[in-house]
């Protein structure tokens, strides 16, 4: 429709446009983007006949209109909503609109009809039709300027800097109208400094700098062009010559509103197993020296084992290092394993422990940055993008969980909905209202939500595509059920523990048959929990971890008690990151029940404080058809206690468990000496929750 070819323009001796080309097709919205002084206004003025071009050609519907008068251009169907609005402040809104129709010599009826159309599009102008235009807000004046231009029913609407000087919210409103006009088929040439706005509101765009077109193309592609984004966002530098070029062209004062997260990569830099091993050896050496020099506890332990900071020469020397256990953490309460001065610690987190002292871990800023980076890697591996909306339904606060999910989410630039755990009604409402695309929770919470979604029949009204769940074991059947009831969402098991930063130390990939773990942040050994000797790759054993760059509380051969196995070889997904199976269980008796860690020793303590109850007991864990976990405690009456007291004792045990462990337990009381005794440690925990294969 509009074609500008090789256009040049001068102001006196100064050249303002240098051979500019531009095309606008019928029905298109085309953006002309450039910094202040780039030549945008000159181009518009040439187009409107206000400035005489010194060369080139302008055609409108294949007629040469170069050097036409402004009046002729208006008659040919061009209408301008000028920069700075230029409304007549002493006239009313209504009168300003009438002025827009004057050159067209409309009948009274036609004029009224067109004003009515403008009022339909801009209800605010109807509300204020008698008000003097000079008393309107900036946003309302912009609407008036656009409305006045629309009075001409233009073939081509020229919008010059519609967002200039407006608050972001008002800009939103103006651009919503630009979108509407565009959808209604109005042909628009949009001239804007705000590149992000202009690009997202247009079909194609031209970037003008110092009077020259420096870039043109589809707006959606330009919006994602890494060089342009770097130029818009980054400072010019030697490393970023493209930014220098565009920067010199005056484009760096154009700001996109969100950095381009799609260009970010959180995968590790190493490209072979040898490189990873070399990185791990260097990290191991660093960690040993750091812990030895920074922590009196570590030094004592290492001295006892005859280890000095120089003891590590090869990877095999790792086996000579002493283990660190949960007891070391509890003994060191409140700041165990602290290896940096307090002034370097910026945060603490604690594990959920129901007995004894909690495990408290300190973090330096670098620790938090590392955690954030590899949590972002988790999201990346699960295919989460900046366009996702991530509903985080795990605990916030002193627990690491919520924080990790939040930090990683912000790092990749997705929208976080930090709800926290529980609160099913609110969760469902947010899934519906915010159309969250990723749901993060424990496995049992995910199941609970899945059932609720099913019960309310809203599976087809939610937008969840991925569920990232962790901290509990899950079986294939449970995963299948969650996925189905969530309308076919894909599940990603995420691993982690507070001692090792928090959640996010590994995640399932799109192949869904392994956990990739971050070998560039920690070394993983799989040991036989009894002999503490390594098991061959592929065999189950206890996961033992050694950190490679953790500052505040480094871990040296920390016994996680989680049971898993190494999966040798490269994954079909193509990632070079090493992998292990989903966590199968624990090498101690810790029970994970409805998200709470319970140590059997705490049940010992509670039972022994109830007079009339014996010391033997069994815990049976089961999962009902609905997927809900249940705990049944079988205890004995103490010797000589009458069977008639059973109800009273059951009530008391139930009450104490609820009060101290915050869990509801079915209690059964049996005769004295009816539970089996064993010379060795008797089996007290019977976990029947998972019947089928875990991995």
Q: Would you tell me which residues interact with Zn ion (CB under 5 A)?
A: 509, 511, 571, 573, 575
Strand partners of residue 506: 495, 517
Helices marked H in 467-525 — which ranges? 476-485
Q: How are strands ordered across the β-sheet holding 613-623?
A: 666-670, 629-637, 613-623, 685-687
**Smallest separation, CB 517 to Zn ion (Å):** 11
Assigned token pair, 224: 């994602």
Task: Give the nearest distance from C-beta 490 to Zn ion in angstroms.
Answer: 14
3-state secondary structure at position 54: coil
* CA distance linking residue 508 with residue 514, whole number of Å: 6
Cα atoms in the Cβ-side hemisphere of radius 13 Å centred on 567: 18
Q: 575 or 605, CB closer to Zn ion?
A: 575
* Nearest to 375, CA basis, from 394, 361, 362, 358: 394
DSSP secondary structure code for residue 479 in this structure: H
Minimum distance, C-beta of residue 343 to Zn ion, in the bound complex (Å): 41
Nearer CB in complex with Zn ion: 318/381: 381
Give whichever of 481 and 516 is closer to Zn ion, judged by the CB atom. 516
For 101-156, the DSSP string reads HGGGT--HHHHHHHHHHHHHH-HHHHHTTTSBGGGS-HHHHHHHHHHHHHTT--SE
> Locate tokens 């920690």: which residue?
522
Which among 360, 495, 366, 379 has a CA at the least distance from the CA of 437?
379
Which of 216, 575 has the CB closer to Zn ion?
575
Strands 55-60 and 2-11: antiparallel
Decide: 79 and 103 in contact? Cβ < 8 Å.
Answer: no
Nearest approach, Cβ of residue 515 and Zn ion (Å)? 9
Pick between residue 571 and residue 663 the one whose CB is nearest to Zn ion: 571
CB 198 within 8 A of CB 118: no
Q: Which is nearer to Zn ion, 261 or 571 (CB)?
A: 571
Q: Least separation, in Å, of the C-beta of 178 and Zn ion?
A: 44
> Closest distance between Zn ion and the C-beta of residue 511, in Å?
5
Tell me the C-alpha distance between 444 and 592, whole Å. Answer: 11
Q: Whose Cβ is closer to Zn ion: residue 571's or residue 675's?
A: 571
Cβ 267 to Zn ion, closest distance in Å? 12
Q: How many CB atoms lie within 10 A of CB 330?
A: 16
Give, as one character, the DSSP assignment of residue 295.
-
Do the beta carbons of residue 533 and residue 543 sit within 8 Å?
no
The residue among 513 and 668 lying less far from Zn ion, judged by its C-beta, is 513
Judged by DSSP in three states, 3 sits in: strand
Q: How far is the CB of 516 from Zn ion (least distance, A)?
A: 6
- Name, in order, each residue with C-beta under 8 angstroms of 62's C-beta and a sequence gap of 6 or more: none
Q: Which of residues 424 and 573 has its CB atom nearest to Zn ion in the complex?
A: 573
Smallest separation, CB 579 to Zn ion (Å): 7
Min CB(377)–Zn ion separation in Å: 13
Q: 114 vs 579, which CB is nearer to Zn ion? A: 579
CB nearer to Zn ion: give 224 or 575: 575
Question: What is the smallest separation between the CB atom of 168 and Zn ion, expressed in angstroms?
Answer: 41
Minimum distance from residue 332 beta carbon to Zn ion (Å):
37
In the Cβ-directed half-sphere of 85, how many Cα atoms lie within 13 Å?
A: 24
Closer Cβ to Zn ion, 675 or 694, answer by number: 694
Cis bond before residue 334 (omega within 30° of 0): yes
Shortest distance (Å) from residue 462 CB to Zn ion: 27
Give CA–CA dist 634/647, Å, rounded: 14
Q: Burial level of 77, CB count in 10 A (0-12/13-18/19+)?
A: middle
Q: Which is nearer to Zn ion, 573 or 695 (CB)?
A: 573
Helix (H) or strand (E) holding 451: helix 443-456
Nearer to Zn ion, 298 or 517 (CB): 517
* Burial environment of residue 275 by CB neighbours within 10 A (0 to 12, 13 to 18, 19 or more): middle
Q: How far is the CB of 481 from Zn ion (least distance, A)?
A: 24
The answer to whether 456 and 449 have CB atoms below 8 angstroms apart is: no
Compute the distance between CA of residue 518 and CA of residue 371 in angstroms, rounded to an integer: 11
């Amino acid at each position: 429709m509009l074609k500008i070819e090789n256009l040049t323009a001068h102001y006196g001796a100064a050249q303002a446009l240098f051979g500019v080309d531009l095309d606008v097709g019928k029905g298109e919205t085309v953006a002309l983007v450039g910094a202040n002084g780039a030549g945008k206004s000159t181009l518009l003025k040439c187009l409107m006949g206000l400035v005489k071009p010194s060369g080139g050609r302008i055609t409108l519907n294949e007629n040469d209109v170069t050097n036409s008068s402004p009046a002729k251009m208006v008659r040919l169907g061009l209408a301008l909503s000028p920069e700075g609005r230029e409304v007549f402040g002493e006239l009313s809104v209504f009168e300003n609109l009438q002025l827009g129709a004057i050159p067209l010599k409309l009948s009274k009826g036609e004029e009224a009809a067109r004003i009515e159309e403008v009022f339909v599009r801009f209800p605010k102008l109807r509300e204020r039709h008698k008000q003097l235009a000079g008393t309107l807000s900036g946003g309302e004046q912009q609407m008036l300027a656009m409305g006045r231009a629309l009075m001409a029913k233009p073939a081509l609407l020229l919008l010059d800097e519609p967002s200039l000087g407006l608050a972001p919210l008002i800009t939103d409103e103006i651009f919503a109208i630009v979108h509407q006009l565009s959808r209604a088929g109005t042909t628009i040439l949009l001239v804007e400094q705000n590149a992000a706005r202009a690009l997202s509101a247009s079909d194609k765009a031209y970037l003008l700098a110092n009077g020259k077109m420096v870039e043109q193309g589809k707006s959606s592609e330009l919006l994602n062009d890494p060089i342009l984004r770097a130029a818009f966002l980054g400072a010019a530098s030697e490393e970023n010559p493209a930014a220098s070029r565009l920067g010199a062209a005056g484009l760096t004062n154009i700001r996109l509103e969100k950095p381009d997260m799609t260009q970010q990569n959180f995968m590790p830099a190493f490209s072979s197993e040898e490189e990873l091993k070399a990185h791990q050896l260097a990290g191991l050496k660093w960690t040993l020296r750091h812990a030895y020099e920074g922590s009196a506890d570590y030094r004592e332990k290492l001295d006892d084992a005859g280890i000095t900071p120089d003891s590590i020469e090869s990877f095999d020397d790792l086996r000579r290092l002493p283990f660190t256990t949960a007891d070391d953490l509890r003994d060191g309460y409140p700041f165990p394993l602290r290896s940096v001065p307090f002034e370097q610690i910026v945060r603490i987190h604690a594990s959920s422990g129901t007995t004894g002292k909690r495990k408290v871990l300190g973090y330096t800023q670098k620790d938090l940055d590392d955690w954030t980076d590899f949590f972002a890697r988790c999201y990346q591996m699960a295919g989460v993008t900046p366009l996702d909306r991530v509903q985080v339904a795990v605990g916030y606060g002193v627990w690491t969980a919520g924080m990790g999910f939040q930090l990683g989410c912000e790092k990749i630039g997705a929208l976080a909905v930090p709800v926290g755990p529980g609160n099913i009604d609110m969760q469902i409402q947010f899934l519906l209202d915010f159309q969250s695309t990723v749901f993060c929770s424990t496995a049992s919470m995910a199941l609970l939500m899945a059932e609720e979604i099913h019960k309310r029949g809203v599976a087809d009204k939610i937008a969840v595509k991925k569920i990232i769940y962790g901290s509990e074991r899950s079986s294939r059947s449970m995963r299948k059920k969650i996925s189905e009831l969530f309308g076919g969402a894909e599940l990603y098991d995420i691993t982690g523990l507070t001692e090792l930063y928090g959640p996010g130390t590994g995640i399932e990939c799109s192949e869904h048959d392994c956990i990739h773990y971050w070998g560039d942040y920690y070394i993983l050994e799989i040991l036989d929990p009894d002999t503490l000797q390594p098991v061959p790759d592929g065999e189950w054993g206890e996961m033992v971890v050694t950190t490679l760059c953790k500052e505040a509380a480094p871990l040296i051969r920390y016994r996680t008690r989680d049971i898993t196995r190494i999966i040798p070889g490269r994954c079909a997904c193509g990632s070079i990151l090493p992998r292990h199976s989903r966590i199968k269980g624990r090498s101690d008796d810790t029970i994970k029940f409805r998200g709470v860690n319970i140590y059997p020793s705490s049940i010992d303590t509670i039972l022994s404080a109830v007079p009339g109850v014996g010391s033997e007991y069994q815990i049976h864990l089961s999962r009902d058809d609905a997927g809900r976990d249940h705990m049944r405690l079988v205890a004995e009456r103490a010797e000589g206690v009458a069977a008639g007291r059973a109800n009273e004792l059951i009530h008391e045990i139930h009450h104490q468990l609820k009060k101290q462990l915050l869990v509801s337990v079915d209690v059964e009381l049996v005769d004295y000496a009816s539970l089996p005794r064993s010379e060795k440690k008797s089996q007290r925990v019977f976990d029947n929750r998972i019947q089928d294969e875990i991995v």
